[in-house]
């Protein structure tokens, strides 16, 4: 039964493909092609959902949060789109799959732990499995704990107790280890008193390390060439071309399915693959438009309503300053700056959902000089699901090279290719 959710998933696959700039979407098509032969652990779902979910947490990291908010406000709540929603009412529809993935990851199970799959057909609305009912009780419990004890903050989630297991450990195992005594500072408050730089100092040092405000202001376009390494070890050719303020063209070259291109010319978003050319509309376009921002990792201050320096820490043996940032809508992030070089080395974003907070981490490595600026040549994305995680390694980055604007336009549909029988 090609039911509604399967169609949605296929639709999401299309969406993922559209987001070549952010996702190895080709995997989706590949697995969909294979999925007919697969059982309850249908990778189609996982892959699609993984992509889908991984896209979500990024949203709060981007300057155009308001665009996302609009998308959320205008999209239907999940109960309007699905058949049997009793406790997740009011959840934005686009968060259903991220939430289901988060629940699965929290318990260390796959979808079929709670959902019925008969002869390769998913019946997600069915309440046949008792685990689904238990999960409903748990969702209600989490909602109530957060509301009553944590002043409506998403403090407790499925992962808080489950930590990747179906039955959380509630009783200490014997023998219990001797508790380590609390180390008191010789001079109380010494650590706290260690002077941290101010947020303005950190941001100014970052701007300087990148090449200075003149170089940043001069930045008009960027083209990058390199590879996209998926977590299962497949390397794809990858090219991105961006032009201020928001034009983008990307192409991922896959070994067996040819090129996946996508673009946005300031007005029209599109994608092109062996299957043809199509427009990106609504939610999909809103997603695509979030990535073109040339300045996403460069102009940070503009993206947040609040930023403060939380502490000094270490990443790979190097001292870093940790900055906590949040938008006016309370989307949160942590930013890590190398204490010595001043460069941004990590961003972790947090997507708050009804059942817990979904993290995503981006690491910036291998900074090199490019046309008067310093830019990372390796960008690593780690999502809670390793399948989505990927590494982009650039071999060439060029700034301010004149770009032919027609590149960003939707290409004409291929006319003479008859569909394969
Ligand atoms: C631990 C149990 C559990 C797991 C694992 C789980 N779900 Fe769910 N799922 C639920 C519950 C509970 C609901 C109903 C929520 C409600 O009533 O508001 C639901 C609802 C859904 C719905 C909406 C069905 C409808 O029409 O009402 C879809 C679609 C769905 N899940 C997909 C998935 C997918 C895909 C996965 C695997 C990534 C998954 N779920 C994993 C418990 C689970
Ligand atoms: C406060 C701790 C806590 C939180 C938070 C929590 N759970 Fe549980 N959950 C438990 C405990 C404890 C059990 C085991 C109960 C038992 O053994 O009878 C359990 C059992 C379950 C089970 C049944 C286990 C099985 O074998 O399938 C499901 C399903 C489940 N939880 C889903 C969830 C979901 C989904 C969330 C998040 C919305 C969640 N839980 C959040 C404590 C928690």
Query: Please, which pLDDT band fits residue 291 given cuts at 50, 70 and 90?
Result: low
Q: What's residue 419's pLDDT? A: 53
CA dist 263 to 230, 253, 278, 347, 367, Å? 22, 15, 11, 25, 27
- Measured from the CB, is residue 83 less than 6 Å from ligand 1? yes
This model's pTM is above 0.75: yes
Protein residue whose Cα sits closest to atom 36 of ligand 1: 111
pLDDT at position 66, please? 30
**Tens-place pLDDT, residues 241-287:** 999 888 999 999 988 889 999 999 988 999 999 889 999 876 567 66
What DSSP character marks residue 418? P
CB 357 near ligand 2, within 6 Å: no
CA distance 376 to 361: 15
pLDDT of residue 386: 65
Nearest ligand, CA of residue 113?
1
- What would the pLDDT profile of 299-317 be if each residue is shown by its tens digit? 999 999 999 999 999 999 9
Q: What is the DSSP letter of 150?
A: S
pLDDT category of residue 47 using cuts at 50, 70 and 90: very low
- Measure the CA–CA gap between 47 and 119, rounded to whole angstroms: 20
Q: What is the mean pLDDT of the chain?
A: 80
pLDDT band at 187 (very low <50, low <70, confident <90, very high): low
**What residue's CA is closest to ligand 1, atom 21?**
124
Beta carbons of 311 and 322 less than 8 angstroms apart? yes
Domains of the chain: 2-33+52-78+88-162 (no CATH), 199-408 (2.50.20.10)
Atom 37 (ligand 2) nearest CA: 158
Among 104-118, 357-371, 378-392, the least confident range: 378-392
Nearest bound ligand to CA 126? Answer: 1
What stretches of 327-372 adopt beta strand conformation (E)?
A: 332-338, 344-353, 356-370
Out of 167, 354, 356, 358, mutate this one to test ligand 2's pocket (max ligand atoms within 8 Å of CB): namely: 167
| Residue 134 confidence (pLDDT) | 98
Q: Residue holding tokens 């080395």? A: 345
The enclosing H or E element of 261 equals strand 258-264
Give the strand pairing for 276-280 and 258-264: unpaired
Residue to mutate, 8, 114, 122, ligand 1, most ligand atoms under 8 Å from C-beta: 114
Ligand 2 atom closest to residue 355's alpha carbon, by position in its atom list: 38
Cα–Cα distance, 275 to 264 (Å, whole number): 19
CA of 49 to the centre of ligand 2 (A): 22
């Amino acid at each position: 039964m090609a039911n509604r959710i399967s169609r949605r998933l296929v639709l999401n696959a299309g969406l993922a493909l559209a987001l070549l700039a952010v996702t190895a979407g080709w995997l989706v098509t590949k697995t969909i092609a294979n999925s007919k032969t697969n059982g309850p652990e249908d990778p189609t779902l996982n892959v699609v959902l993984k992509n889908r979910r991984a896209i979500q947490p990024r949203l709060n990291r981007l300057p155009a949060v308001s665009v996302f908010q609009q998308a959320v406000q205008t999209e239907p709540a999940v109960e309007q789109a699905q058949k049997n929603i009793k406790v997740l009412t009011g959840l934005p529809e686009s968060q259903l799959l991220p939430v289901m993935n988060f629940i699965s990851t929290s318990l260390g199970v796959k979808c079929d732990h709670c959902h019925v799959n008969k002869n390769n057909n998913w019946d997600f609305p069915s309440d046949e499995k008792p685990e689904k009912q238990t999960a409903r009780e748990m969702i209600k419990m989490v909602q109530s704990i957060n509301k009553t004890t944590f002043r409506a903050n998403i403090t407790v989630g499925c992962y808080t107790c489950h930590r990747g297991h179906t039955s959380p450990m509630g009783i200490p195992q014997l023998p219990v280890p001797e508790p380590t005594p609390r180390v008191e500072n010789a001079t109380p408050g010494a650590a706290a008193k260690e002077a941290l730089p101010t947020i303005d100092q950190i941001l100014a040092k970052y701007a300087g390390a990148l090449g200075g405000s003149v170089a940043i202001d001069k930045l008009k376009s960027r083209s990058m060439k390199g590879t996209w390494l998926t977590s299962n070890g497949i390397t794809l050719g990858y090219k991105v071309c961006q032009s201020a303020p928001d034009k983008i063209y990307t192409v991922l070259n896959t070994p067996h399915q040819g090129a996946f291109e996508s673009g946005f010319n300031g007005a029209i978003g599109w994608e092109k693959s062996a299957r043809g050319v199509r427009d990106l509309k609504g939610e999909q376009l809103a997603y695509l438009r979030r990535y073109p921002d040339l300045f996403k990792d460069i102009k940070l201050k503009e993206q947040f309503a609040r930023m403060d320096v939380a502490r000094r820490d270490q990443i790979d043996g190097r001292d870093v300053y940790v900055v906590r940032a949040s938008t006016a809508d309370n989307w949160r992030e942590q930013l890590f700056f190398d204490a010595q070089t001043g460069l941004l080395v990590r961003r972790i974003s947090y997507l708050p959902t009804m059942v817990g907070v979904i993290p995503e981490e981006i690491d910036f490595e291998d900074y090199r000089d490019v046309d008067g600026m310093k830019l990372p040549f390796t960008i690593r994305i780690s999502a809670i699901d390793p399948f989505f995680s990927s590494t982009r390694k650039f071999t060439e980055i060029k700034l301010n090279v004149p770009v032919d604007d027609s590149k960003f336009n939707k290409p004409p549909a291929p006319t003479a290719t008859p569909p394969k029988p």
